[in-house]
């Protein structure tokens, strides 16, 4: 919508199961001191397929194991209907054994039976797979297996000598083992925020505890919290005055963005302010990022005049270089996401609305591109139905706020953009976000309006 041409960017979004952080930041007082940069982690979260990340976590936790150890999996337990439970169990076993570099047994077995199967190996890795609350959870215990008669007499069932646990949310590859999810919003929850000027919103597992936190960015403050009983309850708040001085040339209608790196930090930026900033998992200032705006899915773009530069660069010195390093033109709204395909391969998708136009340019890291016309200035990208094809969320291109709407298009594998969902938002869309999947159903969508968050499921 023209009136919102320089409005905010929406990042990747919120969910109603949002967990509180460890401590809050006051609105007044001295700015927190920046903390040293973190060392890269061996295993990523949400950057590769869930299966490969699970295998990596177990390998890192268990360390080097005897080459003749045998991996045996217990029967798969699930709280949701599966289209092919046996095939999923076999896939989990195969990935785990491959990551550990060990042989596996095709028989699903209890611990007692698994000890028998591993009798000749000398070492048993017993894998217990579960599907619970939209997550795959793997527990692995390493047991010595008594070989001689006297060993079995002395200790027939020895205790484990190593233990590991890993979990990841369901991605498109894992969802192939579930029934298809229709892209239909069956429910809309509205939560009061008290924030009349939201400019960006993001969601993800900021503190690494397995639940989702929400970051709501306004012109005067940023909040971290969750939705409870029809209200957005902030458990940490930080004023922009604590983070960055005012920009020397703020826009009349600001552009903002927010992007969460799960378990590590959140980057937030606002054209009202001189610097974008990186906050740690407790919402304390970690680093200033300069006059730039962070992209969901990684990277930052500089703000020049009244537009966002098309070049995308690492936000911080230690960050990974963006896979999509440039868009075609300057913009006034941006969004992005890493979408996992049904083959488990990650796909980085970027969306940039052309400055002062209603066209959105789409690009991915494989060089594919598309163009969405008649889009408003609020954008988000995600995979709502878990089919491995990205959804592009936008507001309407309208001057009449009462005629605003959430519009969802799917960027199909054949390159076409197909409208899948439209929901009227008569109070006006100020920010949009697509949540990570929080179960085997449709991922939640967040719509920020003056004073409210709408959560669509």
Which of these, 400, 455, 448, 390, lies nearest to 195 by C-alpha position? Answer: 448
Structure tokens at 290: 């300069």
Predicted pLDDT of residue 9: 36
The CATH architecture annotation of domain 2-35+180-456 reads 6 Propeller (2.120)
Q: Give dist(CA 415, CA 369) in Å, integer.
A: 8
Is the domain covering 50-170 a CATH 3.40.50 domain?
A: yes
In this structure, how many other beta carbons lie within 10 angstroms of the beta carbon of residue 329?
A: 15
β-bridge pairing 431-434 and 417-424: unpaired
- Tens digit of pLDDT for each residue in 29-42? 444 454 555 666 78
Q: Give dist(CA 293, CA 303) in Å, integer.
A: 7
Mean pLDDT computed over every residue of the chain: 90
- What percent of the chain clears pLDDT 70, i.e. is strictly above it? 90
**Residue 1 predicted with pLDDT over 50:** no
- Tens digit of pLDDT for each residue in 399-433? 899 999 999 999 999 999 999 999 999 999 999 99
At residue 150 the predicted structure's pLDDT band, cuts being 50, 70 and 90, is low
In the chain, the N- to C-terminal Cα span, in Å, equals: 25
- Tens digit of pLDDT for each residue in 44-88? 888 889 999 999 999 999 999 999 999 999 999 999 999 999 999
Predicted pLDDT of residue 391: 99
2-21: burial string, b at 16+ Cβ within 10 Å, e else: eebbbbbbbbbbbbbbbbbb
In this structure, how many other beta carbons lie within 10 angstroms of the beta carbon of residue 161?
A: 10
pTM to 2 decimals? Answer: 0.85
- Tens digit of pLDDT for each residue in 358-408? 999 999 999 999 999 999 999 999 999 999 999 999 999 998 999 999 999
| Residue spans per domain, the chain | 2-35+180-456, 50-170
Q: Give dist(CA 402, CA 367) in Å, integer.
A: 38
Write the DSSP string, 326-353: B-SS-EEEEEEEEEE-TTS-EEEEEEEE
């Amino acid at each position: 919508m023209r009136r919102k041409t320089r409005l905010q960017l929406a990042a990747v979004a919120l969910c109603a199961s949002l967990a509180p952080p460890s401590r809050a930041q006051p609105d007044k007082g001295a700015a927190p001191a920046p903390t040293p940069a973190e060392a890269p982690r061996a295993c990523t979260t949400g950057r590769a397929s869930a299966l490969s990340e699970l295998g990596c976590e177990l390998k890192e936790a268990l360390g080097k194991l005897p080459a003749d150890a045998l991996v045996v999996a217990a029967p798969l337990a699930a709280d949701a209907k599966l289209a092919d439970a046996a095939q999923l169990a076999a896939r989990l076993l195969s990935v785990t054994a491959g990551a550990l570099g060990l042989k596996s047994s095709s028989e699903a077995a209890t611990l007692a039976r698994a000890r028998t199967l591993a009798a000749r190996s000398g070492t048993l890795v017993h894998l217990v797979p579960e599907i619970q609350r939209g997550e795959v959870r793997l527990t692995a215990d390493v047991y010595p297996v008594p070989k001689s008669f006297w060993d079995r007499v002395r200790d027939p069932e020895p205790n484990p000598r190593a233990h590991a646990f890993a979990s990841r949310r369901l991605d498109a590859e894992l969802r192939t083992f579930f029934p298809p999810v229709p892209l239909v919003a069956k429910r809309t929850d509205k939560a009061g925020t008290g924030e009349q000027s939201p400019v960006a919103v993001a969601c993800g597992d900021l503190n690494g505890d397995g639940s989702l936190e929400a970051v709501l960015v306004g012109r005067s403050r940023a909040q971290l919290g969750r939705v409870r009983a029809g209200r957005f309850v902030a458990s940490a708040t930080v004023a922009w005055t604590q983070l960055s001085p005012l920009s020397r040339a703020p826009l009349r209608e600001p552009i903002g963005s927010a992007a969460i790196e799960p378990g590590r930090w959140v980057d937030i930026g606002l054209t009202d302010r001189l610097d974008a900033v990186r906050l740690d998992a407790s919402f304390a200032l970690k680093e200033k990022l300069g006059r730039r705006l962070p992209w969901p899915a990684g990277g930052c773009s500089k703000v020049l005049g009244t537009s966002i530069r098309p070049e995308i660069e690492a936000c911080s010195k230690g960050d990974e270089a963006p896979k999509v390093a440039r868009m075609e033109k300057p913009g006034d709204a941006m969004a992005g996401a890493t979408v996992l395909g049904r083959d488990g391969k990650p796909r980085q998708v970027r969306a940039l609305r052309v400055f002062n136009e209603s066209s959105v340019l789409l690009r991915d890291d494989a060089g594919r591109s598309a163009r969405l016309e008649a889009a408003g200035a609020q954008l988000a990208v995600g995979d709502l139905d878990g089919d491995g094809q990205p959804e592009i969320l936008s507001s309407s291109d309208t001057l009449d706020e009462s005629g605003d709407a959430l519009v969802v298009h799917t960027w199909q594998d054949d390159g076409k953009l197909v409208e899948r969902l439209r929901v009227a938002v008569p109070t006006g869309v100020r920010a949009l976000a697509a949540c990570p999947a929080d179960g085997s159903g449709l991922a939640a969508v967040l719509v920020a309006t003056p004073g409210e968050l709408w959560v669509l499921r």
